[in-house]
A and B are shown apart, each in its own frame.
Chain A
Amino acid sequence: MGSGKAASVRLFEWTNVRFAAFQRHNGSDFTFLQCSGGRGCAKQGGEYDLFSGPPPQSWKCDLDAPKHQSSIAETSAILKRLVLPYRGRTMLYYTAVTGNRTILDESFTSAIRSLAVWGITGFLETLTGVRGPIGWSGRGDGLQWISDHGARELRELNIKLERATACPSGAFDAVLSPAAAAVLLHEAIGHVAEAAHLSTGQRAFVPKRIASEYVSAYDHALETGGPAHYESDDENVKCLGPTHLVHQGILIRQLHSYGSAARTGTLPTANGRLSCVWKPVLPRFSNLICVPGESTEEQLVDAIHNGIYLIRLANGIYNGADVEADIVLAEQIRNGKRTGQYMTGGQIKEHAGLLLRVTGLANNSTFYNNALCGKDGQILFDVGTASPALLIRQLRVVA
């Protein structure tokens, strides 16, 4: 396959997708759908055949029908409890996917990957009319996490949004919480490090400076606590350990699938991933980990004296040159202290090189609880980012 000639790959997955949608507005509305089935893709002699239903008998591929850990009634009760306390318009959309994927490559080596991921997306609207997007995802069915943390996170978001004023335009010295920093790192390092999957014969632009010398990062599919967790990727390439991507601000390596590696004359990095077997494999990062610094978050806040503390960002976009993200919640910093004066709305609009202005990293790196990524229309629920709090000078905010 590495030679670039047409490969013969057979993929089949047997998944069960459960989704529930809750809408709370003048009462509550509730819809529950459960969808299941197998999806297959065979590639032989340069042609694909995609089909639904069980795999053909000739594949001799026995997979058990997938099952969710919790019943529909339990799932429904947990999710309903989440939205009941809010009187403003609230919309939640829960998806859980469980199942198995078989991969049979041209050397007749087969692998079975288990799938178990979940996500909640939607929004919460306060009685004052402020809308905050919601996005959580990860491994498993998420119900335990939702019970333990979801209600508290929604309550805090609701309280802070009700007190928030509009975010002003301008360029501010900013400290980004680990959750907010994860959104920017996802766009400005994660996607930048992914090799182009459509280019032909194009050499990667590495080494290249993409961040300040304080920033180092790596990708690792088996990182403890990370949303992504796999021994081998969707092309059956084994994960052999961390792939160091950024060393002191310089991009030194790219992430590859078989195809992108063959086109650029290098080796794949166990980053060939797809959302379902009907879609093409793309180079995607698994868990992006930014190496933490030595300061505390309070020291970063103190260092900028006056500026903003970004608590949550959402809807990050990288379009090849620019990075943007919506500000869900921010807080004013005055005289080196967070003031409790919350702000919302506004957008960060920056060139992808905004990390060149990072002048400090805290020592509090954690995985962000939203690992959703929709690159090229392929939604993955387990694209993790672990980041410490960051200090960025002159961050551009558009109201």
Chain B
Amino acid sequence: MNGFPPGFAYERETISAVIHGANPLVERNIRVRLRANKHGLCGNLIPPARPTAKFQRATGRLQLRLAAHIPLPRAENLYIETGEVREQFLSKGRRHDAGQHPYCLVHWCGMVLHLEQYLLDVRKLKPLSVISFQQVPGSLPVILGPSAILSLTLELREKPESQWCENESENPIAVLETDISPYPPHCIPQAIAAMGVYGYVSCDPETWTSPLLALPMQYGSLIIQHRKNGALPQPALVLDSALPLGTGPDSYFECEFHVLGASSAIEKGESPIRIKTSPEKMLGAAVASVRPPEPGVVCDPILGNRYGRAATMVTELKAHDLEIW
């Protein structure tokens, strides 16, 4: 019925500490045990091991230092998470460690600033100025950042009838599916990933009460890049994110943006803009990758955050071509 050998058990513990904007530090400690039985897979939340004092000290110090020193405007959108995923398989009464994956994630207004095991060097971040969209010259070329590319691609792939998906191998944009997400809590063992959507649900207690349509049908992760490489135009308007605000043909996307100046200086958009467009139109306008694939995040209020890697791409669009709502 479920394909697991009798006695199969898997234990997964995620400990993390999060600062989101002005919210206080949240420590999260979740331990799930999955066991195969005659009805399928049975999941239980079990008492977690206490985080080690070393981990607590390290994350606490890091978070407070990051929150205090990142010189970013609109700091209410700053999300900092440090954590660790530990996995164990159980068989014949014996435990087998399957790995320990520490990570550190920082994202802000649709841009992933850091997603690695190692600590972020806050000295690399420089103070930014703020710009309104009305001040952006209409002649600037439009660039799509990793999170925007990821979001538009995911949106398009949810419409299997679109021509873009039918001819994916012939598209100028190459999309590679992978089981390995850049965000360790989204990586699960192959045996459970093979169950599809239900495998992921069983590992993530946050989704245990979600209805079917609020579960992402395609888990795993994507690596997206344009088959052509090009040069990064400067100055340029960079769309950092593209969150769909509806469905259907006349949809709007809420996009964070920044202006990349001639000397690589960044002016951050003072608020997101709403653009009337379609994923086909935006991705169809991409002409080349200007940076290799980097981590991106899609902050979907229903499906939760999704992570992948995408190249930054330059388009044939100018700022005045965007239909602002």
Interface residues of A (CB under 8 A from B): 6, 17, 19, 21, 30-39, 43, 46-54, 72, 76, 91-93, 95, 97, 119, 121-122, 133, 135, 137, 275-276, 278, 315, 317, 319, 322, 324, 326, 347, 349, 372, 374, 376-377, 379, 381, 398
Contacts and interface: CB of A to CB of B under 8 A. Distances in A.
Interface of B: 1-2, 24-32, 39-48, 195, 198, 201-202, 205-206, 208-215, 245-250, 252, 300-304
A92 B198 CA distance: 13
Given A35-B43, A324-B248, A121 B198 contact: no
Contacts of A374: 210-211, 214, 302
Contacts of A133: 213
B248 A398 contact: yes
Contacts of A319: 245-246, 252
Contact of A349 (B40, B210, B213, B248): B248
Contacts, number: 148
B211 A379 contact: yes
B212 A48 contact: no
A93 B213 CA distance: 9
Given A31-B2, A54-B47, A121-B211, A48 B26 contact: yes
A135 B211 contact: yes
B24 A48 contact: yes
A154 to B, nearest CB: 15
A95 B209 contact: yes
Of B26, B31, B40, B209, most buried by chain A (CB within 10 Å of CB) is B209
Contacts of B213: 121, 133, 135, 315
Contacts of A17: 208-209
Of A91, A322, A326, most buried by chain B (CB within 10 Å of CB) is A322
Nearest to B211: A121
Nearest to A346: B248
Contacts of A47: 24-27
A197 B311 CA distance: 35
29 contacts: A17-B209, A31-B195, A32-B1, A32-B40, A32-B41, A33-B40, A35-B43, A37-B46, A38-B45, A48-B26, A49-B26, A50-B30, A51-B29, A51-B48, A52-B205, A76-B39, A93-B211, A93-B212, A93-B215, A95-B209, A95-B211, A133-B213, A276-B206, A315-B247, A324-B247, A347-B247, A374-B210, A374-B302, A377-B303
Given A17-B208, A37-B44, A324-B246, A377 B301 contact: yes
Contact of A377 (B43, B46, B302): B302
